[in-house]
Amino acid sequence: MDLSRLERQRLVAVTAAMFTHGTDTPELLHVWLHLESVTVLVDVAPDWELRIRPDEPGESYAMPGLGSRVDIVPAPADVPFTWRVGEGLVHVMEKFDTTDPAQRVEALFVFDGGSVVAWSFGGDLHLAGGESSGSLE
Domain ranges of the chain: 3-131
Do 92 and 5 contact (CB within 8 A), yes or no?
no
Name which of 50, 108, 48 is nearest 81 in CA terms: 108
Please determine, for residue 136, whether its predicted confidence score (pLDDT) is greater than 70.
no
Strand partners, 94: 107
Please determine, for residue 133, whether its predicted confidence score (pLDDT) is greater than 70.
no
pLDDT at 134: 45
Q: What is the mean pLDDT of residues 40-49?
A: 95
Percent of the chain with pLDDT over 90: 85
pLDDT at 117: 97
Name which of 12, 32, 28 is nearest 20 in CA terms: 28
Q: What is the pTM of this model?
A: 0.91
d(CA 43, CA 33): 11
d(CA 19, CA 29): 6
Mean pLDDT of the chain: 93
Element (H, E) at 123: none
Q: What is the mean pLDDT of residues 74-88?
A: 97
d(CA 57, CA 48): 21
pLDDT category of residue 1 using cuts at 50, 70 and 90: confident
d(CA 49, CA 59): 24
Torsion of CA 136, 123, 45, 10, to 10 degrees: -40
Please determine, for residue 83, whether its predicted confidence score (pLDDT) is greater than 90.
yes
